[in-house]
């Protein structure tokens, strides 16, 4: 079953061209397919102790993660005109993006946005592989840039962590483990609170924190549940999230092709691998078989086996290999961002037919999404004839129809609206209401009568238009119909 572990790309040239290698290596290259790097023969998890990476990619990722954390932890506090800049309140189905309120009625925009996002992810992956996983994914960023760094700080580097794990419980171990787990729990608590702030808003969160517990049992329970989940993910699940749970990782096999740019080992240059001996002129490949790329890998794989679904493109092996190449005076870039076509055929990256097709779909969806966003109005209006009602005869040869209306105010200001006949002679009368005051961010529902002279009715169903006005300005025209008798009145 594990034979499917490696993505079947030609990148596994080390396995495909055993003639280039000695028998032992050929054997090794095939054996990795039989198991997951983090599971032993008995099915037990192999805990990964990656060495701390050092290098320009790691530094760049550190700086990017700082920007990321600043954004993540400050965005819920930012308000525009007293309202959150972002709110993803799935419970009350209230969404605010860049200060704009989106209602359930706007969900088609979200729906299309989601389709766009999925197509974008597919296209992006075809071209750039799992770049997202290494540089943007919150799981990787929090794991590698926060939790792992705390672990290095408290428990030391990989070798020290291993020794500590095997050591008997003593004061030092109790202190270090407690310090780590308390820090992890505190951080998970902070992430949980921030996460909740995106859902219920910072003001509600403040109430949950400040008010007596019995007033916000649900909110408090949510904080505890999220904290536990985050703690479990970052303290125990770790790379298993990427290698066994994340659906995106599992999709790599169908999304990547020979032209996808991934973190790749240059097997053409590296093989036949062999130890470095400074006294000898090197006649074999450039890989000095130092295993540094394996030691830093947070998912425990050997990138020299080719592109594998466990690889989250974190670039740690690039940094590690470059450091070794510099140390032995060989060119860097033995492991680098490259496609199989780049490496095997020495080809430049081309815009393939698949990429063109994805781009075309992307362009169409982007245009559609932009149109929906631009044409989105601040007010949602529905006027529908009341079900089960025909027409009513009124004095003075008049007929009336009853309608239900629903007005939705998507702004932060109260709206004063009124209805006017648009293409018919007659009048509109609200039932029970004098004014149409729609509260900010709220809705107003009610009924209205449309009156028309029977002499103006020529059909059993007449198309009519109702104008919706706000502060002397017509903001929308609603189409509906007026029912009359079958015969001329
Ligand atoms: S193989 Fe390299 S890029 Fe992939 S996860 Fe391991 S260290 Fe990161
Ligand atoms: S770090 Fe580079 S040189 Fe060392 S084993 Fe990995 S690929 Fe070979």
Which of 403, 454, 408 has the alpha carbon at shortest distance from 429?
Answer: 403
Nearest-CA residue for ligand 1 atom 3 is: 313
Residue 15 has pLDDT above 80, yes or no: no
Q: Tokens 């071209």 identify what position? A: 127
d(CA 34, CA 40): 10
Atom of ligand 2 nearest to the CA of 291: 5
Verify whether ligand 2 is closer than 6 Å to residue 303 (CB atom). Answer: no
Q: What is the pLDDT of residue 82?
A: 81
**Residue to substitute in 246, 300, 313, 336 for testing ligand 1 pocket (most ligand atoms within 8 angstroms of CB):** 313
Nearest-CA residue for ligand 1 atom 8 is: 314
For 81-115, how does the pLDDT look when each residue is reduced to its tens digit (9 = 90+)?
A: 788 888 888 777 778 888 877 877 777 787 888 88
Which of 24-28, 208-212, 463-467, 468-472 shows the lowest per-residue confidence on average (mean pLDDT)?
A: 24-28
Full-model pTM: 0.78
How far, in Å, from the CA of 330 to the mean position of ligand 2? 11
Q: What is the pLDDT of residue 98?
A: 83
**Residue to substitute in 13, 276, 284, 290 for testing ligand 2 pocket (most ligand atoms within 8 angstroms of CB):** 290
Q: What is the pLDDT of residue 259?
A: 85
Q: Quick one: CA dihedral 4, 9, 14, 15, positive or negative?
A: positive
For 338-358, how does the pLDDT look when each residue is reduced to its tens digit (9 = 90+)?
A: 998 889 888 776 777 877 887
Q: What is the pLDDT of residue 436?
A: 87
Nearest-CA residue for ligand 1 atom 7 is: 297
Nearest-CA residue for ligand 2 atom 6 is: 293
Spell 297-317 as b/e; 16+ CB within 10 A means b: bbbbbbbbbbbbbbbbbbbbb
Residue 100's beta-bridge partner residues? 97
Average pLDDT, integer, range 216-244: 94
Which of 94-103, 159-168, 243-252, 480-489 shows the lowest per-residue confidence on average (mean pLDDT)?
A: 480-489
Average pLDDT, integer, range 284-300: 95
**Per-residue tokens: 190:** 């902070």
Nearest-CA residue for ligand 2 atom 2 is: 321
Nearest-CA residue for ligand 1 atom 2 is: 317
Q: What is the pLDDT of residue 75?
A: 94
Do strands 100-102 and 94-97 pair parallel, antiparallel, or not at all (unpaired)?
A: antiparallel
Residue 78 has pLDDT above 60, yes or no: yes
How far, in Å, from the CA of 231 to the mean position of ligand 1? 24
Nearest-CA residue for ligand 2 atom 8 is: 287
d(CA 375, CA 378): 10
Verify whether ligand 1 is closer than 6 Å to residue 297 (CB atom). Answer: yes
Which of 34-48, 268-282, 333-347 shows the lowest per-residue confidence on average (mean pLDDT)?
A: 34-48
Residue 147 has pLDDT above 90, yes or no: yes
DSSP 361: H
Average pLDDT, the chain: 86
Q: What is the pLDDT of residue 301?
A: 93
Q: What is the pLDDT of residue 446?
A: 92
One-letter-per-residue 3-state SS of 252-311? HHHHCCCCCCEEEECHHHHCCCCCCCCCCCCCCCCCCCCCHHHHCCCCCCCHHHCCECCC
Which of 14-23, 97-106, 238-247, 287-296 shows the lowest per-residue confidence on average (mean pLDDT)?
A: 14-23
Residue 28 has pLDDT above 60, yes or no: no
- Count of all residues that appear for the chain in the document: 489
For 378-428, how does the pLDDT look when each residue is reduced to its tens digit (9 = 90+)?
A: 888 899 999 888 889 888 888 999 999 999 888 878 889 999 999 888 999
How far, in Å, from the CA of 350 to the mean position of ligand 2? 28
Percent of the chain beyond pLDDT 90?
Answer: 50
Q: How confident is the model at residue 432 (pLDDT cuts 50, 70, 90)?
A: confident
Q: How confident is the model at residue 241 (pLDDT cuts 50, 70, 90)?
A: very high
CA distance readout (Å), 168 to 40, 45, 163, 171: 23, 21, 10, 10
**Residue to substitute in 238, 294, 297 for testing ligand 1 pocket (most ligand atoms within 8 angstroms of CB):** 297
Atom of ligand 2 nearest to the CA of 273: 8
Verify whether ligand 1 is closer than 6 Å to residue 303 (CB atom). Answer: yes
Task: Out of 24-33, 313-322, 337-346, 358-367, give the one with best mean pLDDT.
Answer: 313-322
Cis amide prior to 272 (ω within 30 degrees): yes
Verify whether ligand 1 is closer than 6 Å to residue 316 (CB atom). Answer: yes
Q: What is the pLDDT of residue 5?
A: 40
Nearest-CA residue for ligand 1 atom 1 is: 303
Residue 180 has pLDDT above 50, yes or no: yes
Q: What is the pLDDT of residue 10?
A: 39
Q: What is the pLDDT of residue 146?
A: 97
Q: What is the pLDDT of residue 33?
A: 66
Residue 186 has pLDDT above 90, yes or no: yes
Q: How confident is the model at residue 29 (pLDDT cuts 50, 70, 90)?
A: low
Residue 444 has pLDDT above 60, yes or no: yes
Q: How confident is the model at residue 226 (pLDDT cuts 50, 70, 90)?
A: very high
Atom of ligand 2 nearest to the CA of 292: 1
More confident residue, 287 or 354: 287
* DSSP per position, 109-140: HHHHHHHHHHHHHHHHHHHHTTHHHHHT-HHH
Average pLDDT, integer, range 243-258: 86
How far, in Å, from the CA of 412 to the mean position of ligand 1? 48
Q: What is the pLDDT of residue 70?
A: 96
Q: Quick one: CA dihedral 230, 234, 235, 237, positive or negative?
A: positive
């Amino acid at each position: 079953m594990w034979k499917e572990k490696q993505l079947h790309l030609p990148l596994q040239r080390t396995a495909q061209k055993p003639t280039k290698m000695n028998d032992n290596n050929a054997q090794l290259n095939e054996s990795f397919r039989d198991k997951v790097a983090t599971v032993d023969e008995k099915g037990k998890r192999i805990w990964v102790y990656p060495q701390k990476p050092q290098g320009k990619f790691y530094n760049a990722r550190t700086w990017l993660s700082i920007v990321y954390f600043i954004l993540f932890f400050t965005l819920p506090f930012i308000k525009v005109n007293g309202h959150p800049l972002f709110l993803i309140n799935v419970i009350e189905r209230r969404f605010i993006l860049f200060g704009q309120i989106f209602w359930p009625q706007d969900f088609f925009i979200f729906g299309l946005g989601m389709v766009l996002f999925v197509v974008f992810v597919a296209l992006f992956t075809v071209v750039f592989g799992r770049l997202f996983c290494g540089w943007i994914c919150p799981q990787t960023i929090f794991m590698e840039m926060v939790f792992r760094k705390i672990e290095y700080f408290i428990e030391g580097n990989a070798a020290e962590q291993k020794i500590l794990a095997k050591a008997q419980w003593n004061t030092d171990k109790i202190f270090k483990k407690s310090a780590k787990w308390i820090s992890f729990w505190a951080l998970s608590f902070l992430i949980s609170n921030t996460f909740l702030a995106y859902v219920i808003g910072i003001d509600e969160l403040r109430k949950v924190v400040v008010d007596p517990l019995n007033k916000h049992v649900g909110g408090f329970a949510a904080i505890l549940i999220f904290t536990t989940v985050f703690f479990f993910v970052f303290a125990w699940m770790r790379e298993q999230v990427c290698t066994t749970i994340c659906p995106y990782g599992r999709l790599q096999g169908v999304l990547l092709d020979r032209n996808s740019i991934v973190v790749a080992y240059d097997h053409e240059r590296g093989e036949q691998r062999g130890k470095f001996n400074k006294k000898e002129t090197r006649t074999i490949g450039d890989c000095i078989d130092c295993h540094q790329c394996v030691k830093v890998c947070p998912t425990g794989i050997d990138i020299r086996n080719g592109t594998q679904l466990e690889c989250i493109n974190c670039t740690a092996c690039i940094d590690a290999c470059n450091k070794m190449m510099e140390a032995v005076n060989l060119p860097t870039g033995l492991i680098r961002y490259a496609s199989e076509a780049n490496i095997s055929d020495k080809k430049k990256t081309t815009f393939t037919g698949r990429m063109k097709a994805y781009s075309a779909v992307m362009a169409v969806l982007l245009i559609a999404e932009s149109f929906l966003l631009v044409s989105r109005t601040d007010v949602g209006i529905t006027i529908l004839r009341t079900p089960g009602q025909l027409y009513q005869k009124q004095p003075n040869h008049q007929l009336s129809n009853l309608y239900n209306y629903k007005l939705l105010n998507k702004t932060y200001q109260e709206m004063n609206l009124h209805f006017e006949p648009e293409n018919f002679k007659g009048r509109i009368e609200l039932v029970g209401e004098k004014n149409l005051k729609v509260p900010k961010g709220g809705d107003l529902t009610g009924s209205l009568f449309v009156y028309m002279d029977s002499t103006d009715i020529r059909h059993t169903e007449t198309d009519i238009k109702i104008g919706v006005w706000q502060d002397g300005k017509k903001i929308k025209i609603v189409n509906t119909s007026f029912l009359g008798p079958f015969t001329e009145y």
